[in-house]
Amino acid sequence: MLAALALEASRPRRGTGPLVALAIAGLFRPEAWVLSAAYWCYLAPRADARSRIRLAALAAIGPLLWASGDLVLTGDPLYSLTYKQHATASTSRPTGLATAPHMPLAVFTGNLRRPVLVGAGCGVLINLRTRHLPGVLTGALVLSAASFVALGAVTLPLDQRYALPLLCYAAIFFAYFLVGPWRLASGRLKWAWAAAAVVVGIAAVVDVPANLRDIDHDRAGLSHETAAEHALAQLVAPAGVRTVLARCSPVSADWRIVPILAFDLHRDPTTLRVVDSGVPDRGVVIEATHGVASSFFQDISHPLRSFERRHYAVLAANGDFTMYARC
């Protein structure tokens, strides 16, 4: 998305280059589709009929490939949407139109800190007057914010990582606020702006030690997640467990567990089943039931009584995972 912005800024109404970059971005996150559609609407009035069709095809690459992948793999072109909505409701992740307006502030303060947010806001306001930055940047910022809010409106999770483009655009305005004064001629406005930029810049630097502590916290989290993956490998390592897994099918787990489990068992991931609703009638089900594993690996979990009603027995368990079996 930043590449698309840079291409458009270097040559307005470039067309093909930015749309190709947004098509690639659209294979990772659907928010890029909004920018593709908006950019096509921006280009269309000055394009001839043939160019409009060609540019529309480029703008549609992201959603069409995404839906085609869902259709081929699951038989449902909207599987990603419906599954994510179900998982969001099941795990009580933040979502909803009422929650969406409050989340951007939490995202900004949690990732860029308040001094950077203040500087970015000042950069936006000053640029409305000076227009030093490309006009497309303000549009991208507004559309990214609207896309983030729209996730809540369609009951998709409002995860902070989904606001990364919004944070990137805000960082550009913050950088402009810091260096912009030197583009002005000498005068009171230049020195007042420069003084404010120095104050905000120092306040942002003061937060760096806290950010380093956050990195240490994330490193500790990754260590715990690695330990959980090791616990899964230990769960399925005993010969007796492997024997049951070989003759008792299907073997089911949360979608986050399936690829790791396939690696541990030296099996093709397509031979394993994803548990995306209730407990299956029979087979083996592996769930992350305790510790870090339960929050990192398990989107949809089931209480023990759900397995007991279907006459499952606990085959193996450790501090992170439980394996249920009914053969």
Q: Are residues 90 and 41 in the same domain?
A: no
Tell me if 103 is assigned to some domain.
yes
State how far the Cα of 325 lies from the Cα of 7, in Å rounded to an integer: 55
pLDDT of residue 62: 92
Residue 317, phi then psi, degrees to nearest 5: -160, 155
Q: Are residues 200 and 87 in the same domain?
A: yes
**DSSP state at residue 277:** S
Rounded average pLDDT over 238-244: 93
Question: Taking 80 as the threshold, does the pLDDT of residue 102 lie above it?
Answer: no
The parent domain of residue 4 ranges over 1-77
- More confident call, 100 vs 286: 286
Q: Are residues 162 and 60 in the same domain?
A: no
Q: Are residues 189 and 112 in the same domain?
A: yes
- More confident call, 190 vs 92: 190
Tell me if 70 is assigned to some domain.
yes
Tell me if 215 is assigned to some domain.
no
Rounded average pLDDT over 295-311: 87
Tell me if 144 is assigned to some domain.
yes
Rounded average pLDDT over 315-327: 93
Q: Are 296 and 228 in contact (CB under 8 A)?
A: yes
pLDDT 10s digits, 155-212: 888 887 888 888 899 999 999 999 999 888 888 888 999 999 999 999 988 877 777 7
Quickly tell me which residue has 């947010």 as its tokens: 117
Question: Taking 90 as the threshold, does the pLDDT of residue 326 lie above it?
Answer: yes
Tell me if 220 is assigned to some domain.
no
The answer to whether the pTM exceeds 0.85 is no
The torsion region of residue 47 among left (phi > 0), alpha (psi -120 to 50) and beta comes to beta
pLDDT of residue 174: 95
Q: Which of 76-80, 172-176, 204-208, 223-227 is predicted least confidently? A: 204-208
Question: Taking 80 as the threshold, does the pLDDT of residue 229 lie above it?
Answer: yes
Q: Are residues 143 and 124 in the same domain?
A: yes
Q: Are residues 262 and 238 in the same domain?
A: yes
Nearest Cα neighbor of 117 from 208, 203, 5, 210 is 203
pLDDT of residue 195: 93
pLDDT of residue 241: 93
Tell me if 16 is assigned to some domain.
yes
Q: Are residues 133 and 234 in the same domain?
A: no
Q: Are residues 86 and 202 in the same domain?
A: yes
Q: Are residues 43 and 115 in the same domain?
A: no
Tell me if 93 is assigned to some domain.
yes
Nearest Cα neighbor of 162 from 119, 78, 106 is 106
Number of domains the chain contains: 3
Q: Are residues 196 and 88 in the same domain?
A: yes
Rounded average pLDDT over 202-225: 83
Q: Are residues 167 and 260 in the same domain?
A: no
Domain stops at, among 52, 77, 102: 77
Q: Are residues 198 and 115 in the same domain?
A: yes
pLDDT of residue 64: 95
Tell me if 221 is assigned to some domain.
no
The residues that bridge with 313 in the sheet, in sequence order, are 325
pLDDT 10s digits, 110-151: 788 889 999 999 999 999 888 888 888 888 888 888 888 888
